[in-house]
Amino acid sequence: MSSIIIAGVCGGLIGWSVFDLQCPGDCATTAAIAGVVAAILCAVGVAVVAVLSLRAMAEWKAIEARDRARRARGLS
């Protein structure tokens, strides 16, 4: 959970600063909008990676448990 929040904050800061540097003049509102959009995109991206990683770990443990049970029964 904290990695998703950290990624969102970092993405927001990066999005805001990149847009703020590229925009000539006063673009505070649009830079803030760009920061919020970047924060959401980064948080969603990290959340997807976290969910996929957790699913892979759960599947790996299930396969190991199944193999352990087969070996215990002598099925190789």
If you write DSSP's letter for every residue of 41-76 in order, what string do you get? Answer: HHHHHHHHHHHHHHHHHHHHHHHHHHHHHHHHHT--
Rounded to two decimals, the pTM is 0.75
Of the CA atoms within 13 Å of residue 68, those in its CB half-sphere come to 6
d(CA 13, CA 7): 10
Predicted confidence (pLDDT) per residue in 10-25, tens digit:
999 999 999 888 888 8
Own/partner long-range contacts of 69-74 (Cβ < 8 Å, ≥24 apart) = none
Which residue in 5, 66, 3 sits closest to 40, CA to CA? 5
Predicted confidence (pLDDT) per residue in 27-49, tens digit:
888 888 999 999 999 999 999 99
What are the residue ranges spanned by the domains of the chain? 2-73
DSSP type of residue 26: -
